[in-house]
Amino acid sequence: MAKEIKKWETLETRYIIKRPWLTARVDKVMLPNGVVNPEHYVLEYPDWVNVIAITSKGEFVMVQQYRHAFDQVMIELCAGMCENDETPLQSAQRELLEETGFGRGRWSKLMTIGQNPSICNNITHCFLATDVERVDCQHLDESEDINVLLMTRDEVYAMLQNDEMLQALMAAPLWRYFAQYERKTE
């Protein structure tokens, strides 16, 4: 019988930065064996959303934008942040409309996922939206520079196979979609 894994005890906590795009704290923690780690960093973020949006013709609504930490222009799912007054579904629908101009359709929750449960405290709500339609133009912030791309399922699947969908929070729901919702993947 495996031993019971116990939680750590937080002895002290201190914020090292609190800015809109980065909130980080350092916790002094004690492990069950009495070992003290004076520096366990936790990054605090609001919850996030993303969506696999597919039109009635089977086109995947993807976004192309520059991703600074990788210094690359990348194709991704539409994604964003939950605002305080929204449900995750409302956030995902708002982000899809703002970033792509697509809306309507049938929405369901696909999965819940975390960036890194050891060091990041937020979760990402992943949705599947089928039969979405173009209902408006994009409404971007001045800091957003986003192309909307309509891709076939074969193009999206090839991206996954070729490790071109590098963002784990998007690769996970896409692989889940292909594993569970669509069986003709070869």
Q: Which of residues 33-72 bind a copy of itself (CB under 8 A)?
A: 33, 35, 37, 39-43, 64-72
Taking CB under 8 A as the rule, does residue 13 contact a copy of itself? no
Taking CB under 8 A as the rule, does residue 12 contact a copy of itself? no
Taking CB under 8 A as the rule, does residue 90 contact a copy of itself? no
Nearer CB in complex with a copy of itself: 35/85: 35
Q: Write out the DSSP string of 150-162.
A: EE-HHHHHHHHHT
Report the site for a copy of itself in 91-120 (rule: CB under 8 A).
111-120
Stretch that binds a copy of itself, among 53-61, 90-98, 130-138, 165-173 (CB under 8 A): 165-173
Shortest distance in whole angstroms from residue 55 CB to a copy of itself: 17
Number of residues engaging a copy of itself in binding (CB under 8 A): 71
Residue 180 CB contacts under 8 Å (≥ 6 apart), including other chains: none
CB 28 within 8 A of CB 3: no
The helix/strand/coil state of 114 is strand
How far apart CA 152 and CA 136 sit, in angstroms, is: 21
| Strands, sheet with 22-30, edge to edge from the N-terminal-most edge strand | 9-19, 22-30, 36-44
Shortest distance in whole angstroms from residue 133 CB to a copy of itself: 19
Q: Nearest to residue 23, comparing CAs of 41, 8, 40, 38?
A: 41
Shortest distance in whole angstroms from residue 135 CB to a copy of itself: 19
